Amino acid sequence: MEGVTLTENAAEKLGGLMEQKGMKETHALRVFVKGGGCGGMQYGMTFDDNFGDGDEVYNQPGGLRVVVDATSLFYVAGANIDYVENLMGGGFHIDNPNAVSSCGCGSSFRTAQSHNGEETANSCGC
């Protein structure tokens, strides 16, 4: 199964954040999915140094690692994480090939597997 990758911009920003916190050598970026949000599922990201048996670890540029648990990987396999800046500020953006619809703010999504056949408006107020 495909993993999760960081763009060069995301790796640079993430590496700088981890270096500031003194955890670049010991921690990874954990990407996970949980229920909620207007799309039915939400992305989450945190720094983590505790990896379990069901976790997949993906090496990234600059010595960084991304870790994803098996359940979340089902929903985010092949996703690409970028860091983008615009007039409203900057932030991480997940381009998920498994998402059939997503919230306006990009933090909530729905996959074909999680879609129960209902038609929903793509307006969550974001």
68 within some domain: yes
Q: In this structure, what is the dihedral angle of CA atoms 10, 46, 97, 64, given to the nearest 10 degrees?
A: 40
3-state secondary structure of 8: helix
120 within some domain: no
Number of domains the chain is built from: 1
125 within some domain: no
Report the pLDDT value the prediction gives residue 103, as an integer from 0 to 100: 61
Report the pLDDT value the prediction gives residue 102, as an integer from 0 to 100: 64
Dump the DSSP string for 10-75: HHHHHHHHHHHTT-TTT-EEEEEEEE-STTSEEEEEEEE----TTEEEEE-GGG-EEEEEHHHHHH
The secondary element (H helix, E strand) that includes residue 124 is none
10 Å Cβ neighbour count for 78?
Answer: 14
Contact partners, residue 37, CB within 8 Å, separation at least 6: 103, 107, 108, 109, 124
92 within some domain: yes
Percentage of residues in the chain with pLDDT exceeding 70?
77
Average pLDDT over residues 42-51: 94
Full domain range(s) for residue 73: 5-111
The string of pLDDT tens digits covering residues 67-104 is: 999 999 998 999 999 999 988 788 898 998 887 766 65
126 within some domain: no
- Residue 45 pLDDT greater than 90, yes or no: yes
CATH number at residue 59: 2.60.300.12
Report the pLDDT value the prediction gives residue 113, as an integer from 0 to 100: 60
Confidence of residue 105 (pLDDT cuts 50, 70, 90): low
Instruction: Output phi, psi for 73, to 5 deg.
Output: -60, -35
- Residue 115 pLDDT greater than 70, yes or no: no
Distance (Å, whole) CA 79 – CA 89:
22
Higher pLDDT, residue 14 or 101: 14
- Residue 37 pLDDT greater than 90, yes or no: no
119 within some domain: no
93 within some domain: yes
- Residue 119 pLDDT greater than 60, yes or no: no
Report the pLDDT value the prediction gives residue 112, as an integer from 0 to 100: 60
117 within some domain: no
Question: Pairing state of beta strands 89-95 and 80-86?
Answer: antiparallel
